[in-house]
Amino acid sequence: MDSINHLTSIFIKKNIFNRVILLITSLLFSAFVATECRGYDGLIFDAMAQLDEKQEFISAINKVQQAKVSKLALFARSRKYLGENENKILELREKFPELIILGTPKYFLLRNDLTPKYITKTIRSIQKHNYKFIGEILYTHGDKSHGEKTLHGERYIDPIAPNNIKFINLLRRSQIPVMTHWEVYEWDRDWPKFSELYNRFPEITFIIPHMAFGHPEQVRLILSKHSNVYMTISKKEQDKKGYSDSRKSKLLGHGFLNKNGKIRPSWHKLIIDYSDRLMFATDAHKAHRWEKYKEIIDNYRHFAKQLPLEVAKMISYQNAERLYNVKVK
């Protein structure tokens, strides 16, 4: 009888022990899954976004707030005339001064070189409106299948054209960053010219959106040669498609995520090596990007979780804080 009771006691204790182990394992697994699902949960500074008359401005800002973004670098899109939508953007900053910093308007009708009118108006507006950066200048922008078609299949401004050099030279006084939109499909034509531009103005910081859609080797070369160049990682997570000329797509680099959502090794090393000059941005500009704003932020948080926390913080907000000279609260 004693032996039966003893065996029963052992069985009960073992059963309780197994249940405790199972419970602890379950709790640890749940915590792990919750952490993985949540992703990076720190501050975010969206280093580049755009608005024009096709979007409802307040609705767009509501999306930014709902996504828990702490700071937004924004500029107007001026497609018909220089300064179009500028006043609306300025009014928006008045309503949300803790959230929004502004860059100069992006003007779509520039070709080959900057115009004197663009230079004069932009330089004057920097101090007048307290602009923190020069909004995106479309130096090379290939026609997309869903967008406007140009005569030569691209918008193009020569980086070392006379008026562009004059403009950048005038910026030496304010030393605010310049967004230089460059897509690397004509690398042999453009790399020597951009490299010359960046070399001529070492005191000016240049921002290349979307990592220029380049290959890791191209991006590494640009960043290693020019310490005054920053890049946003927007739209670079997947391969860039949708060009009217499919040849251009084939000349661009792969996205930095594989089909399983993991960072490719070649990109992971580059991101770590140059984490002090990369910035997160949504580049929300058209309706489809603004509608997906929170999804873009959520996806970024999962991406950032794959990086060391200090690297994630730099890319998420610290580099933008330093570059734009504003603090995220």
Residues 256-261 have a mean pLDDT of: 94
How far apart are alpha carbons 48 and 153 in whole angstroms? Answer: 25
Supply the pLDDT for residue 19: 59
Q: Where are the domains of the chain?
A: 1-38, 41-324
Q: What pLDDT was estimated at residue 1?
A: 52
The pTM of the full predicted model, rounded to 2 decimals, is 0.88
CA distance 55 to 94: 18
Which band of pLDDT confidence, cut at 50, 70 and 90, is reported for residue 329? Answer: confident
CA distance 212 to 288: 21
- Give the three-state DSSP class for 285: coil
Helical segments of the chain, H only: 2-38, 57-66, 86-95, 116-129, 162-170, 187-200, 216-225, 246-250, 265-273, 287-291, 293-304, 309-313, 319-324
Residue that has been written with the tokens 């010219």 in this structure: 193
Looking at domain 41-324, its CATH architecture is: Alpha-Beta Barrel (3.20)
Q: d(Cα 325, Cα 316) in Å, to the nearest integer?
A: 15
Tens digit of pLDDT for each residue in 160-213? 999 999 999 999 999 999 999 999 999 999 999 999 999 999 999 999 999 999
